[in-house]
Amino acid sequence: MYNTLISMSYYYKSKSTYLLTLLLAGLLTLSCMTNIENIEGEEVQDVSFKLNVEPILKQYCVSCHGNVAGINLSSYDAVMSNIGTNWKENIVVPGDALNSGLYDVLLERPQFQLQQMPTGGPYLTGNEIEIIKSWINEGAKNN
Ligand code: HEC
């Protein structure tokens, strides 16, 4: 990368343009690093259903899983009582995100032969997935 930059520098007439390029390359590297952090997700704690989880479901899921039979993600009670045609049991197992369909479908490769949701994307960020995961692991409370 630095070799490329050095050879690129021959194309620039002034030193300040070169420095600007270096600065931009630095910023680009930094933003890539931030993205990687996002993909892995940061650990989140004390997640609130109302403040943190519900807005994510509203943004990504309720357009398809609204007030309908089957998977309904439009309220706490609906989320907790959902039985999927494929999943066949509650999609939230309080305290156990890894065995909860609601968490599993958010992963790039769901473990239990469901499709990644939302179908066709755009998909949740790493931090948003982490929020759902922590909320389930903290007991899936109506808080
Ligand atoms: C564009 C429409 C659409 C959006 C948005 C969407 N889904 Fe789905 N979802 C579907 C369809 C269609 C199916 C059935 C697919 C299948 O059976 O494989 C499905 C199936 C599911 C299932 C499995 C149901 C079962 O039968 O067991 C779960 C869980 C689920 N979605 C959760 C979510 C979550 C969580 C979100 C938001 C992050 C979401 N979906 C967003 C269309 C959507």
Tokens 């009670």, residue?
Answer: 77
Answer yes or no: are the C-beta atoms of 131 and 44 closer than 8 Å: yes
Tell me the pLDDT tens digit for each residue of 70-104. 799 999 999 999 888 888 899 999 999 999 999 99
Residue 77 to residue 116: CA distance in whole angstroms: 23
* pLDDT, position 67: 78
Which pLDDT score is estimated for 19?
52
Confirm or reject: Cβ of 114 under 6 Å from ligand 1.
yes
Q: Which two tokens stand for residue 6?
A: 């050095």
Backbone angles phi, psi at 83, to 5 degrees: -120, 120
The atom number, within ligand 1, closest to the CA of 63 reads 5
User: How far apart are the CA of 62 and the centre of ligand 1, in A?
Assistant: 10
Residue 116's CB is within 10 A of a number of other CB atoms, namely: 16
Tell me the domain boundaries of the chain.
2-40, 49-137
What pLDDT does residue 68 have? 76
**pLDDT of amino acid 16:** 57
